[in-house]
Amino acid sequence: MTENKSPEVSGRAFLGLLKYIKGWGDQEKLDGIIEGAGASAKPIFAERIRVTGWYPYDGYKDFLIAIDRKLGRGDYRYCRELGVVAGQRDMGTIFKIYTLMANADRLIGACNKFWQSYYRNAGTMEAIQSSAEQTVLRIKGFPTMHPTHCKLMEGWISATMDSVGFRILEIKETQCTSRGGDFHDYTFRWQKKK
């Protein structure tokens, strides 16, 4: 009998969001967001979040929803902005080696390494197609990925490509499990920055 493991998110993902919100210097707003995240997030925030810890995905999803409601408009677009901030932070810290290479193909080819460093029991991310005219990154095996997270990933992909010297011309999640798809496909075009 195989054990069905629930998706988890690294503490680093939570801490990055917390750092961004705390940067606004509004503890009351942060407390409201945490409260708004509800029962799934409550145990996560009840203790100190560890960078190397793993936490239930539902708490992360509900935290993203609460952030979007409090800081955005409740339409999940704010989560895309959060993804941009996260991608910029990642490429300036833990994945800085990729910025030194300035190589889009290597970055795209390493997408599952990035994914696995943040999410476990949450499927895989792979490059289905990789060219400047059309790149497709696919997250499969993660049917419960929430639309807030989908928007965050759009921003993250854009920011990481930008960090290595390539501007995203257009990006769209062309397939999503929340819209009846079998997986999540991010289709985008890019060009080298001048």
Same domain, residue pair 63 and 123? no
Chain segment 41-68, per-residue pLDDT in tens: 999 999 999 999 999 999 999 999 999 9
Domain count, the chain: 2
Q: Do 177 and 108 share a domain, yes or no?
A: yes
Domain range spanning residue 31? 8-71
Tokens of 184: 């999540």
19, amino acid identity: K
Q: Are 8 and 56 in contact (CB under 8 A)?
A: yes
pLDDT tens figures, 133-177: 999 999 999 999 999 999 999 999 999 899 888 999 999 999 999
pLDDT above 70 for 4: no
Average pLDDT over residues 10-19: 93
Residues 60 and 88 in one domain: no
Q: If you average pLDDT over every residue of the chain, what do you get?
A: 90
Structure tokens at 29: 């707003």
Cα(72)–Cα(81) distance, integer angstroms: 10
**Contacts for 139 with CB less than 8 Å, ≥ 6 apart:** 115, 123, 124, 125, 145, 153, 183, 184, 186
pTM over 0.85, yes/no: yes
CB atoms within 10 A of CB 151: 23
SS3 readout for 23-35: CCCCHHHHHHHHH
Is 100 found in the same domain as 169?
yes
